[in-house]
Amino acid sequence: MSAPQSIAFIGTGVMGRSMAGHLQKAGHALHVHNRTREKASALLEAGATWHDSAGSAAAAAEVVITILGFPVDVESSYLGAGGIVERARPGALLIDMTTSSPVLARRIAAAAAERGLAALDAPVSGGDVGAREARLVIMVGGDAAAFARAKPLFDSMGKNIALLGGPGAGQHCKMANQIAVAVGMVAWCEALAYARKAGLDPSAVHASISGGAAGSWAMTNLAPRALGDNFAPGFYVKHILKDMRIALESAAELKLELPGLAGAKKLYDQVAARGWEDCGTQALYRLYTSL
């Protein structure tokens, strides 16, 4: 456990509020900002200080952590006028835990370095359950010294924590993760849709196959939600779509074709077109049952 620090935590949504809560319980002083103040209410009641902007929160802290929705949010929060890079304290550590663009991560790291700041890209995997239980996978890109400084904080939020390389490496690792996630979602949805169409009880089939070679984290955790008509978000459809777009753009830059991911995106585009983009990613199964 690290010595208590002042931490600006920006983004207290489904994932962020649990992550910030773990840091708060570890004794760190939190300065929080979120587009919707109510989503930070539990943290504020526990003693966190509210700020009306990301830049204001950053100016009050030794460490800045963000977990936001989209790359455009990350870019404006870090690089916009009055933003985090401009207002952060000298020597501050900046940690973006949003799943975002590797190119943007490198831009932020360069802008931070020009001001004498350290920056890490540290996207996470594990969903709402992993965030609540402090079992997140944390994939980090950046300088080894900055990683060592951040590691005690990461230990409060996750279990599988690794430095993958320089700036942008964490985001590239997360893209690899999201490619596997997106294509894997199609696998269990199609398996259970097939079982249903064949006249079998999908729940019974799930119980039979989820512990074997067909098993996965999503099969174990998300398929039961879908089978129970629970489409509440642990991870939003709109966010997996964002991640797939980034992954496909990154793959194109690398001159790599990903037909499985391209197919998964087309299916999730249909999910979003039906108005389900604010549902959890397990809403993909709903598409199969409505066809």
Give the Cβ contact number of residue 137 at 10 Å: 17
| Residue 65, phi then psi, degrees to nearest 5 | -120, 130
Question: Which DSSP state fits 36?
Answer: S
Question: Which DSSP state fits 81?
Answer: T
* 265 annotated active-site: no
Q: H or E segment at 94?
A: strand 93-96
Burial degree of 139 (CB within 10 A; 0-12, 13-18, 19+): buried
Dihedral sign computed on CA atoms, order 91, 153, 166, 56: negative
Nearest-angstrom CA–CA distance, 265 and 237: 11
Q: Among residues 174, 238, 242, 265, which one is catalytic?
A: 174
Question: Which DSSP state fits 3?
Answer: P
**Is the CB of residue 141 less than 8 Å from the CB of residue 167?**
yes
Active site residue ranges: 174
